[in-house]
């Protein structure tokens, strides 16, 4: 597994270990956010005798002996962040999101025991769209460099599946939240600012809408993909919790009992107004069905933040 120290990667690794899989995790602790947070994410995994950790950049590794005899490969590593992907930073996104994916797929094509390769993609590949986003009919037209690199990684998965018969599934995550969420992400910032009586920065007017997906539902989607009879394909992984940012802030206020101090700022380049997933394809082919609603998920994240001050 790549990106094993991240928000989703560490949660997925723990789930696999609980199901008695042996997990080899790779992470190079990029400085996008605190390395200490990532190291803490790995605490439980490192206690497990079936977990092997490799701290190295994927582009500097000989992957073939690591992949050899593996059944499943989960690629969770990426340079995240829509707003940071412009300008000079773009070369980091090309390296970490496109070149890394190409190297993994190139190495994987030589391993005949691989039953499934699951790639983490993003709803950012859709950009701004009307209505629900459907894998087979909604155009992919990202509005950020980040989204462009995630779409390129998806396309690499498709062409390796087509040309080398690799069993590649790409999962388009829609705004993942919950315990261990990255500190730069909205819910994490909103909750920490609220309980500290600090100003909450909202880019835009707060009426932008997102399809929010709880972390355990995303982990379940990965496990279902691993076990699925579907050999390849692209699937939306949404949570079915469609709310505006302003509605989320009101929920947080009700959960914490604290008033929000909100400062509205100009909309940022690359931010989309709305995401809403159609998950019928994932429901039909993967048996995916999100289970955690937004209220329960926010309460869980709030409790986790109380127990994990930065």
Residues belonging to the active site? 146
Cα 41 from Cα 4, distance rounded (Å): 9
Which of these, 46, 58, 79, 62, lies nearest to 1 by C-alpha position? 58
Cβ-Cβ contacts under 8 Å for 302 (sequence gap 6 or more): 191, 195, 252, 255, 256
Cβ-Cβ contacts under 8 Å for 116 (sequence gap 6 or more): 71, 72, 73, 167, 169, 225, 226, 228
Residue 224: strand, helix, or coil? helix
Under 8 Å between Cβ of 43 and 71: no
Cα 147 from Cα 182, distance rounded (Å): 18
Output the six-digit token pair for 158.
Answer: 């498709």
**Crossing angle for the helix pair 7-18 and 215-227, nearest 10 degrees?**
60
Polymer length in residues for the chain? 310
Output the six-digit token pair for 132.
Answer: 């629900």
């Amino acid at each position: 597994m790549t990106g094993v120290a991240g928000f989703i990667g560490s949660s997925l690794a723990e789930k696999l270990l609980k199901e008695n899989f042996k997990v080899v995790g790779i992470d190079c602790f990029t400085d996008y956010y605190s390395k200490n947070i990532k190291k803490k994410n790995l605490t439980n995994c490192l206690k497990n005798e079936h977990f092997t950790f490799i701290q190295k950049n994927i582009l500097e590794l000989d992957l073939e002996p690591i992949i050899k005899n593996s059944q499943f490969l989960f690629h969770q590593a990426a340079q995240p962040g829509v707003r940071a992907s412009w300008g000079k930073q773009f070369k980091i996104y090309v390296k970490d999101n496109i070149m890394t994916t190409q190297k993994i797929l190139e190495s994987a094509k030589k391993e005949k025991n691989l039953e499934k390769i699951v790639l983490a993609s993003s709803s950012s590949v859709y950009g701004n769209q009307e209505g629900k986003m459907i894998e087979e009919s909604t155009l992919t037209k990202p509005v950020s460099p980040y989204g462009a690199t995630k779409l390129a990684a998806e396309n690499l998965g498709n062409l390796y599946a087509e040309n080398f018969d690799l069993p590649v599934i790409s999962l388009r995550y829609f705004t993942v939240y919950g315990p261990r969420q990255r500190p730069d992400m909205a819910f994490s910032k909103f909750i920490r600012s609220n309980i500290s009586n600090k100003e909450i920065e909202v880019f835009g007017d707060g009426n932008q809408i997102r399809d929010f997906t709880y972390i355990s539902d995303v982990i379940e989607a990965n496990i279902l993909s691993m076990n699925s009879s579907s050999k390849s394909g692209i699937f939306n992984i949404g949570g079915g919790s469609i709310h505006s940012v302003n509605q989320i802030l009101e929920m947080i206020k009700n959960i914490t009992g604290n008033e929000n101090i909100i400062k509205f700022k100009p909309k940022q380049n690359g931010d989309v107004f709305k995401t809403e997933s159609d998950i019928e394809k994932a429901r039909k082919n993967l048996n995916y069905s999100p289970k955690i609603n937004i209220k329960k998920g926010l309460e869980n994240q709030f409790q986790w933040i109380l127990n994990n001050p930065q």
